[in-house]
Amino acid sequence: MPLPKPNSGEAEEAFMERCMSDDKMGAEYPDKDQRVAVCMTSFRDAKEQDMSDQQQDAIEYEEGKMDIEAEIKAVKDQDDEGGFEGYASVFGNADLGNDVVVEGAFAKSIARRGAKGVKMLYQHDAKQPIGVYDEITEDERGLRVKGRLALGTQRGREVYELMKMGAIDGLSIGYRVDAKGYDYDDKGKRRYLKSVDLMEISAVTFPMNPKARVQAVKSDRTIREWESFLRDEGGLSRNEAKAGAAALNKTLDQRDVGEESSELVAAMSAVTTLMKNGD
């Protein structure tokens, strides 16, 4: 049977009296001590959930319109499948909510929580964790992150595939900030975030800060795997396989080819030459 629930603002004493005198509770739990324990648990669970909801409401997010450029590139030095890296926040530029993150804003939070203490979520949904962060650091540009998507979960696999395609290339932070953590410029109508409590970083479709992007997604095959393939299946020497693997890995991964088309053409040409020489 459903347990009695506290009403909004109902004090513990009032709830306990109502719960203990409930006819259905009396029939289900005739033992008084047992009934006390059940009512108390119901009250405390409800209060904890209410506090969690309030904390969630207090978190601010960066989410809005994405810009049109994708910056997904291959990562050749990551051993774990599902790995990606990018910037979750960029210093000094105004986001679509007219907030500007100041360099050093995350330092205290990172030191206190560590990378594993910052949750990796999908679209800021606390019910959809999708992996873990291994590194979260500040550099001169912004908040740089390296993480691993949980490929053993359906959502983790989906986000991984969407990242590789460029369908999801935004990162967005969820944070708390108090009155001492920011300055407000009345003239420019901008809020300058100086110190924030970083709660989570989400993979999102539309980041509030257009420059907060996934920059790299680990390719399906590592260079070492390509080397083995080219040696075993292509009959190439070790040196040829290494050169060919680097070219293939560079060419076949999802990337922004607009600025690097000449490199890709050269890479494909190198692979073609190697394979021809191996025949």
Active site (catalytic) residues: 124, 172, 200
180-200 burial, b for 16+ CB within 10 Å, e for fewer?
ebbeeeeeeebbbbbbbbbbb
Task: List C-alpha distances in Å: 124 to 61, 153, 254.
Answer: 8, 17, 25
Give me 205's structure tokens: 């479709």
Give residues with Cβ within 8 angstroms of 75, minimum separation 6.
83, 84, 85, 216, 217, 218, 219
Q: State the amino acid at position 271 in one-letter form.
A: V
- Helix, strand and coil content of the chain, in percent to the nearest 5, comes to 40, 25, 35
For helices 12-20 and 32-58, what crossing angle results, to 10°? Answer: 140
**How many CA atoms are closer than 13 Å to the CA of 8, on its beta-carbon side?**
0
Q: Order of strands, edge to edge, in the sheet holding 60-61?
A: 60-61, 170-176, 197-204, 119-122, 125-138, 142-149, 83-90, 214-218, 73-75
Please say whether the beta carbons of 250 and 267 come within 8 A. Answer: yes
